[in-house]
Structure 1
């Protein structure tokens, strides 16, 4: 559902030329987005069966003249933060931005945005 939401946005897909992956390719073109780790934390109380899923999205760019990782990261945040995503199996899922970090990788060339989102959902749908 996250990938579909990102791919559906014409502005974002134009910024990254549709480059959304589950891991960084061996010889990538930049900028690009990867959908990284997920952690599911069950939340069962008072008869409510729910879960919080933490999803990490990475934005990668190689510095040329402008750091596009910040621009692309901002576009991803605008698309996902405070959104209600619909799924067939679990209905509405609330998405909230937990943190955003913008880093320069040790190679001195690669810029890296790390965006962590929290998704509140029905645990039975996972």
Structure 2
């Protein structure tokens, strides 16, 4: 069992359960995939980084930084900013993970908005930071 994988599942579950998110991006377009071009609109569960937090002598804390990529065909950045706001709302509460993991803290650390070089697509990148305690059995 991996805290990183369990976190990814929990993030997707929180997004597809949130009406504010799914009003903007259908649940079927909230994906863990690598495709070009990305479906329009979509939220792609992106890269993650696992960092030994070092906050416990037991070594049972990890900080996980996870990115979410937002894609939408639009002339402006309005749509991706709206989706990012909905994501922030959906991830405002503490995520629930299966035992032996526990979310000790989480925050949406940043959101960036970019115009894709194709001239048609807007792209947002939301970064979530999560502190997880618990060892794999």
Aligned-residue Cα RMSD (Å) equals 2.3
Q: Distance in 2 between matches of 1:105 and 1:65?
A: 11
| Structure 1 residues 1-126: aligned runs within 5 Å | 1-18=10-27, 19-23=29-33, 25-26=35-36, 29-48=39-58, 49-63=60-74, 67-81=78-92, 83-89=93-99, 90-122=101-133, 124-125=135-136
Q: 1:98 to 1:24 in 2, by over 3 A?
A: same
Q: Distance in 1 between matches of 2:63 and 2:11?
A: 15
Contact 2:77/2:115 (<8 A) preserved: no
Q: 1:47 to 1:27 in 2, by over 3 A?
A: closer
Instruction: Measure how far apart 1:12 and its partner are.
Output: 1.1
Equivalenced residues, count? 125
SS in 2 for 1:85: coil
Q: TM-score scaled to structure 1, two decimals?
A: 0.85
Greater percentage in strand = 1
In structure 2, the gaps of 5 or more residues are 1-9
In structure 1, the gaps of 5 or more residues are none
